[in-house]
Amino acid sequence: MLQTLNHPSTHKCTYIKIRCCCSIFNMSSAHIVMTPQKLFQLHSRSFDGRQFPTYQRSQMCTARAQCRFGRNKSARTEVNAQQNGDDALRTTAKQGAVLDRRELLAMVAAAQQVGQVAGSPALAGELEAPSAAFSVPSVQLNNGLAFPLASFGLQVYDDNTAKELTLIALEVGYRNFFASVLARNQRGFARAVAESGVPRDELFICGSVLSNRPRAFDSAYQATARQCQENLEAFAEGGIDYVDMIMLDYPGPTPEAVLGQWKGMEEMLAAGTTRSLAVSNFSPAQLDCILDSDPGATVPAVNQLPYNVAFHRPGVSSFDIIEENRSRGVLVQAWAPLGGTTGGLSQPVRRTCQEIGEKYGKSLQQVALRWILQTGVCFSTQTKVKQHFVEDLEVFDFELSADEMAELSNLA
């Protein structure tokens, strides 16, 4: 399995199912080969905590890494991160065989297909059979739909970039996508879906509505209904005529506005152009504004909240809030699961995640994502680096102990 490890002052390195760290990065010991590249500058509302300084083209640091495919085969891997953001990966086995990156990824996928995938105890009994290339389990939503636990959330970049990144995500196994109206690239996403050839019924596509400024019922309703239609028009670029979920990105400023927003959402559901409704950044009281207004109101299937191992303070996105959502039948999805705009992951958090990860051959980011899953929350990540796409799906084949969960939970 491709896995990665990083340090706040260096580029990420790539290695394969091994415990590794390097003194050149102020870590314990290792041998990793890498070339720093000029990294993409991400939008300020980033879901990914892996943001690093820009490097000069001449900068380079090298080391070596040993990797294993299964128990008895080993190889030496060289990783060269190209300036254009692609990872050129060449693996030479001890016997002298040379594998290109495509062959290597195929080998990894095949190995995963026969391996056992550990489910999250917090979601035990709700997981459905994995279907994606990298075996992403799904949880059943309150309306019976299967919702893959790992989602790729597109960020603010142009349509061409959105298309390229969506194609990468589809290639490595993502089937759950959050294409927000805020990112303004839903057309590029839709074009990628059309070009990929992946059957529509294998995908879970979530659009979003931003209508949180109007204060009155009617104006909030009209703004929401208009944006629901705009989502459909953008997705139609790729032949997508319905979404699996439409998410209300922020609640309106008044109870009347929230109810107006929800009326617009309910109409889209009744029209059959979405299969479920969701919210983002809603407090329990704002959820109750919807649920208490009408006994027949549709319960949001998902509430997307800022949540990560370094950010789950009471009153913000705490365990109590997760339970408040769960008691209403609402699944919490973490945005900024690796720190992002919630302040990032502090050095103590990173160090602890790294130390725990060494026991499992996992990166600190994978430990942070696994912690989220075991608290009963799913996540939406983003990246522009293919190895990070892969890494973020490699979190379903290990399980943190109760002591490790407690240690991580006490870091925020």
Tens digit of each residue's pLDDT (9 = 90 or more) over 15-42:
223 233 332 222 222 222 222 222 222 2
Alpha-carbon distances of 173 from 2, 25, 152, 225, 302, rounded to whole Å: 13, 31, 10, 33, 22
- Residues of the chain with pLDDT > 70, as a percent, come to 65
- The set of residues, in sequence order, having a beta carbon less than 8 Å from that of 208 and lying 6+ positions away, is 178, 179, 180, 181, 182, 231, 246, 247, 248, 249, 280
Q: Which residue has the higher pLDDT, 343 or 11?
A: 343
- The set of residues, in sequence order, having a beta carbon less than 8 Å from that of 102 and lying 6+ positions away, is none
The pTM for the full model equals: 0.70
Residue 328's Cα: distance from chain center in Å? 24
SS3 251: coil
Give me the helix-helix angle, 319-327 and 284-291, nearest 10°. Answer: 10
Q: What is the pLDDT of residues 342-374, one digit of tens each?
A: 667 889 999 999 999 999 999 999 999 999 999
The pLDDT of residue 157: 94
Q: Which domains does the chain have, with CATH numbers?
A: 2-112 (no CATH), 122-409 (3.20.20.100)
On the question of pLDDT at 188 being above 90, the answer is: yes
Alpha-carbon distances of 220 from 283, 285, 297, rounded to whole Å: 19, 19, 17
SS3 404: helix
The pLDDT of residue 339: 82
On the question of pLDDT at 269 being above 80, the answer is: yes
The pLDDT of residue 318: 54
On the question of pLDDT at 324 being above 90, the answer is: yes
For 124, the token pair is 């035990």
Rounded to whole angstroms, the Cα distance separating 295 from 351 reads 48
Residue 43: exposure state from Cβ atoms within 10 A (0-12, 13-18, ≥19): middle
Dihedral over alpha carbons 19, 394, 310, 7 (to 10 degrees) = 40
* 73 bridge partner residues: 69
